[in-house]
């Protein structure tokens, strides 16, 4: 069975600091997809990024970057130069390929508090 673990329950930073969120996953599939979602206080889950298991290239998109390492089953997410608007709960999620379709398994979430 697939599982996603976010060990950090809450992170507090001061504005402009970088913040890195850890995500470790378990799956038996060789084809799978990893996601990060943001949940601001309004409650809506906002899609941020998606990565497939065949592409370990790390990328940067604006102030977001991610580090995917298959060898350690980790998919970490970094916010550079954090802003108050980044305060939210961030969820890592996994979907397996094949017959499982795109069923998402979420981690428990990491609450990020950015102080001015």
Partner 1 sequence: EAGVAQSPRYKIIEKRQSVAFWCNPISGHATLYWYQQILGQGPKLLIQFQNNGVVDDSQLPKDRFSAERLKGVDSTLKIQPAKLEDSAVYLCASSLFSRSTDTQYFGPGTRLTVL
Q: Provide the binding-site residues for partner 1, judged by CB under 8 A.
A: 4, 31-33, 35, 37, 42-47, 50, 52, 91, 93, 95-98, 100-104, 106-109
Tokens of 57: 């290239």
Q: How far is the CB of 108 from partner 1 (least distance, A)?
A: 5
Helix (H, G, I), strand (E, B) or coil at 85: helix
Tokens of 105: 């398994």
Q: How far is the CB of 44 from partner 1 (least distance, A)?
A: 4
Residue nearer to partner 1 on the CB measure, 80 or 106 = 106
Residue nearer to partner 1 on the CB measure, 23 or 114 = 23
Spell out the alpha helix ranges (H) of 1-116: none
Residue nearer to partner 1 on the CB measure, 73 or 80 = 73
Residue nearer to partner 1 on the CB measure, 15 or 29 = 29
Instruction: For the chain, give the longest Cα–Cα distance.
Output: 46
| Residue 54: DSSP 8-state | T
Distances (CA, A) of 52 to 7, 15, 91, 97: 22, 31, 17, 10
Q: How far is the CB of 48 from partner 1 (least distance, A)?
A: 10
């Amino acid at each position: 069975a697939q599982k996603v673990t976010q060990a950090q329950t809450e992170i507090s930073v001061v504005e402009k600091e970088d913040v890195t969120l850890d995500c470790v996953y378990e799956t038996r599939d060789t084809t799978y997809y990893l996601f990060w979602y943001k949940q601001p206080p309004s409650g809506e889950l906002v899609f941020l990024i998606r990565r497939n298991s065949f592409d370990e290239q790390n990328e940067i998109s604006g102030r977001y970057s991610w580090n995917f390492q298959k060898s350690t089953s980790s998919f970490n997410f970094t916010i550079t130069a954090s802003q108050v608007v980044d305060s939210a709960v961030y969820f890592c999620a996994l979907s397996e390929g094949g017959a499982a379709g795109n069923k998402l398994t979420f981690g428990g979430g990491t609450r990020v508090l950015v102080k001015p």
